[in-house]
Amino acid sequence: MLKERLPLIGALCLLILTITNFTAPNESITGIVGIVLFIFVLILYFISRKK
C-alpha cells in the first residue's frame, strides 16, 4: 500500500519545496526543507522496500 503511494508522496514533497522556495526569504530555509523532505522520502522508500 505504501509502495503505490510513494510517487504521490514524492510529488507532494516537491510541491511543498516549491512553495517554500517561492515564499522563503532565505535560501538556507529552502535547503533545510529540501534535505528534510529528501530524508523523509528516502526513509519511506526503505520501509516500503522491506515489505
Residues 6 or more apart whose Cβ sits within 8 Å of residue 40:
13
pLDDT of residue 2: 80
Amino acid letter, 12: L
Q: What is the pTM of this model?
A: 0.83
Rounded mean pLDDT for each run of 10 residues along the chain, 51 residues in total: 88 94 90 94 89 63
Residue 43: C-alpha distances to residues 23, 26, 28, 29, 32 (Å): 27, 27, 23, 21, 17
pLDDT of residue 49: 86
b vs e for 26-43, b when ≥16 Cβ sit within 10 Å of the residue's Cβ?
eeeebeebbeebeeebee
pLDDT of residue 42: 92
pLDDT of residue 19: 94
